[in-house]
Structure 1
C-alpha cells in the first residue's frame, strides 16, 4: 500500500512538474508595450477627426501665415515663413503628444477601457510605452508632411548639414517625451472627458500665444516671456528656430543665443517631472486614489 501510494505521488508530482515547465511565462512589460504600439496606432487611425486635426492643423496654420505675411521679414534674411515654421512644428509636436494623449486617456478612462486593461493585467509601463510609441510615429509623419509643404509651397530652406538635423532630432524627441508624459500626468487631474477636452485644449492655445508660436518671441511683453520660460513649448519652439533660421538670427533671441544647453536641460527636466507625476498619480479608473 505504501509503495503504491509513493508511486502515485511520484507520477502526480512528475505530471505537475511537467505542466509547470510547459506553461509559458507571461510576457513582460516591454513585450506588451511594443505590441501595444501597433494597437494604439490602429486605434488612432480609426478616429478620422483626430487624424485630420493632427495632420491638417499645422499645415493650415502654415498656409494662413504664409498667405498673410508672405514676403515680409522679421529681421535680416529671415522671412516670416521661415520664422513661424519653427513655431508651427513645435506646436504640432505638442498637439500630437500633450493635447492628444491627455484627452485620449481621459476618454479611455471614462469609457472603462483602462479598467478592462487593468483586469487583463496590463502593466502601467506597457500602456505608457504604447502611447509614447504611437506619438513618436505620428509625430514623424506629421513633421514630414509639414516640412514638405513648407519647402515646396513656400521655398523654406531646410537644413543642409547633419548638425542641424541632429539638433532637430534631439529637440523633437525631448519635446515628444515631455509632451507625452505630461499629457498622461494631466489626465489624472481632470474630471470628465469633456472637461479634459476643453481644459487641455484651452491651455494649449494660451501656451502657444505665450511661447512665440504666433508672434516674434522677443517682441512679447516681458511677463509673457517669463511665464513661457517655465513651460517646455517655449524651449521646443526656440530649439526649432535654431534649426530653420540662419546662425545670425540667434542675436534676435532674448539671450542673444540659441541656448541649446538650457533647452535640453528644461525639456529633460520636464520629462523627469512628468514621469514622477505619472508614477504617483496614474490610475486606471476615475475616483481611484
Structure 2
C-alpha cells in the first residue's frame, strides 16, 4: 500500500500555510516580530567599527551571525512548540484529528511555514547588515547559496524537536520552563559566540547540542577565515557541522511523528474542556 500523501492533502497544507502566514504577518503581533531585528540593526550601527581579538574580526559580524542562528532556533523550536501547545488546548488539533489526513496535513503546513517564520523576523537585519557590514556578508553567489543551505538545514534540524517539545509538555507553564531552558542552552552552546577558549569539558558539552553546530555553520559562512582561530580546534569544521545537523534532523524526523501520534490519540473533547477550565481558573 502506498504511503504517499494524496495531492489534495498537500494542496490543503500549502493553502493552510499561506493563510497562516498572511494572517500572522498582517497583524500587529506579526509586525512586532521585526522589532528585535530593528534593535539589532541599531546595535550593529554602534559597533560597526569595533574589532575583536587578534584576528581583528568585527563585533558586528559576531552579533549578526548569532542573531541569525538564534532566529532559526526561535522559529523552528520555540515557535512550533508554542503553537502546538496552544492548538492542543484550543481544540485545533482535535478538529484536525477528525478530518482524514488532518493531523498529517496540519503538520505539513507547519513544515512549509517554518522557513518563512524563521526568515521574516531576521529579514530587516539581513538587509541592514548588507548595508552596514558588507564585509560580513557573503561575497559571491556560492556563499549566498551556502548561507541559504545552512539556514534551511538549521530549520529542518530543529523543527522536529520543536514538535517534540510541543507534544511532551502538556501545559503552557511546563512549556515555558522548557523554553527558558532552551535560551540557557543556546547561551551555553556557542550560538552567539565561539567557545574555543572554554575548558575542554565545557567544549565537549557544547558540541553535544545541535545549537552549537548551527552557530558554527552560520559563522563559517559570514565571518572571515581569521575568525576560525577562536573556534574549537582553530577551524570552523563546516562539513562536520552539516553532517551533524543532518543526523539530528533524521533523528528528529523519526522521533517527532511517534510523539505527535501519541499526542493526537490523547486529544478529546473532554481534554480540551479541561484545558479551558484550567486556563479560566489559573490563567495558564
Aligned to 1:242: 220
TM-superposed CA distance for 1:165, in Å, is: 1.3
Please say which structure displays the higher CA radius of gyration.
1
- Corresponding position of 1:44: 24
CA distance in 2, matches of 1:103, 1:117: 17
Matched, 1:185 2:164: yes
How far off its partner does 1:234 sit? 0.9
Taking the TM superposition and a 5 Å limit, the aligned residue runs for 1:1-289 are 28-45=8-25, 48-49=28-29, 51-53=31-33, 55-61=34-40, 63-64=42-43, 67=46, 71-153=50-132, 157-196=136-175, 198-282=176-260, 283-284=263-264
**CA offsets 1:253-280 (integer angstroms, 9 cap, x no match):** 2122221221111111111111111221
Normalising by structure 1, report the TM-score: 0.80
The CA distance in 2 between the partners of 1:48 and 1:223, in whole Å, is: 45
SS in 1 for 2:136: coil
Pick closer, same or farther for the CA change 1:75–1:85 going to 2, 3 Å: farther
Q: Could you tell me how far apart the structure 2 residues matched to 1:29 and 1:217 are?
A: 45
Query: 1:179 and 1:56, CA in 2 relative to 1: closer, same or farther beyond 3 A?
Result: farther
Question: Does the 8 Å contact 2:37/2:124 carry over to 1?
Answer: no
Q: Is the 8 A contact 1:112 1:285 kept in 2?
A: no
Deviation at 1:286, TM superposition (A): 5.0
C-alpha separation between the residues in 2 aligned to 1:286 and 1:43? 29
> 1:109–1:286: 8 Å Cα contact kept in structure 2?
no
Per-residue deviation, residues 34-53 of structure 1 (Å, max 9, x unmatched): 22211321343366435524
What SS does structure 1 have at the residue aligned with 2:138?
coil
Q: 1:65: how far off?
A: 6.7
Secondary structure in structure 2 of the residue aligned to 1:165: helix
Structure 1 contact 150–156 (Cα < 8 Å) conserved: no
Say how many residue pairs are matched. 261
Structure 2: gaps spanning 5 or more residues: 1-5, 269-284
Deviates further, 250-259 or 183-192: 250-259
Q: CA RMSD, aligned part only?
A: 2.5
CA contact (8 A) 1:103 1:200 kept: no
Deviations, residues 202-222 of structure 1 (Å, cap 9, x unaligned):
022112211223444223343
Q: Which runs of 5+ in 1 are unaligned?
A: 1-25
- Greater mean deviation of Cα atoms: 76-85 or 88-97: 76-85
